[in-house]
Amino acid sequence: MIYLTRRATFSASHYYWNPAWTAEKNEQVFGRCARRAGHGHNYTLEVTVAGEPDTVTGFVVDLKWLRDVIDREVLTAWDHRHLNLDVPEFAVTESTATIPTTENLAIAAWRRLQSAVSAANGAQLSRVRIYETPEIFAEFRGEP
Amino acid sequence: MKAYFGRRYTISASHRLHADTLTVEENLATYGKCNNPNGHGHNYVVEVLVGGSVDPETGMVINLAALDEVVRTKVIERFDHTNLNLDPLFLNRVPTTENLCREVFALLKDALPAGELERVRMEETENNFFECSSE
């Protein structure tokens, strides 16, 4: 099994806010990340695909194809957006919200990529890692 | 649903690789310039990976501030701007980055909630690193 990884970057804004909590509790748990005007990051997305190299091309998947999948499934929806306000999986209602933490971004990116990647030539999505800064990252491996 | 949260920290420290059980010549042959009698130093990067379920209320595996506090008190304050050979952990053990990685893993494993620490990666330079997990 070979693991192939492609990186992409996107820039987006967000804030952390649980609508079921008081303002005080949000500020206590999330600190500066709870400021409602939001803030932003340059994110790096790493997509790892596992598979056997094709006997003719030597590719697990074509990197240009993977770049296009990442562009279409993730970057079009997330790059230069406000994650809380513009992205459906983080939409806020009066009482619920999936907070756009780096952990939840990794899970959401996995869900956006999985079907497109697994349609390709027997390859499987193995890992999605998202760096919020060069020092902070989260990853999801499809585990329950 | 299980996810992972990773965070990178830096510690600057000196060390000398020298085994008391080896002769002068054997130490030099084994450790080369790392055996320099007065030691040398590195900017180590400690990458801590924590695994667990994502809390539905916070969207987090672990609160970043809580992790920072554990790493600061257990690792950074202990090793940053020190000579690793003088730490009690290395009185009878060579402070290779393998051994440092293992000790940092043990210190953090004891301080974090059970089962949360997934892996510690210790980068000695940009070109070499060591990893320790609970295997």
Instruction: Name the average pLDDT for chain A.
Output: 94
- A29, A107, A138: residue with CB nearest B58: A29
Q: Is B66 on the interface with A (CB under 8 A)?
A: no
Question: At A57, is the pLDDT very low, low, confident or very high (cuts 50, 70, 90)?
Answer: confident
Question: At A31, is the pLDDT very low, low, confident or very high (cuts 50, 70, 90)?
Answer: very high
Residue B87 scores a pLDDT above 80:
yes
- Please report the pLDDT score of residue A94 as a whole number: 80
Is A18's CB within 8 Å of B54's CB?
no
Structure tokens belonging to residue A124:
């499987």
- Please report the pLDDT score of residue B135 as a whole number: 77
Question: At B33, is the pLDDT very low, low, confident or very high (cuts 50, 70, 90)?
Answer: very high
Chain A residue closest to B10 (CA)? A135
Q: What's the average model confidence in pLDDT over B30-52?
A: 96
Residue A5 scores a pLDDT above 80:
yes
Instruction: Name the average pLDDT for chain B.
Output: 96
Pair A143, B2: CB distance under 8 Å: yes
Residue A78 scores a pLDDT above 90:
yes
Residue A120 scores a pLDDT above 80:
no
Q: What's the average model confidence in pLDDT over A8-29?
A: 96
Instruction: Enter the pTM of the model.
Output: 0.91
Tens digits of per-residue pLDDT, A89-115?
A: 999 888 888 999 999 999 999 999 999
Q: Is B9 on the interface with A (CB under 8 A)?
A: yes
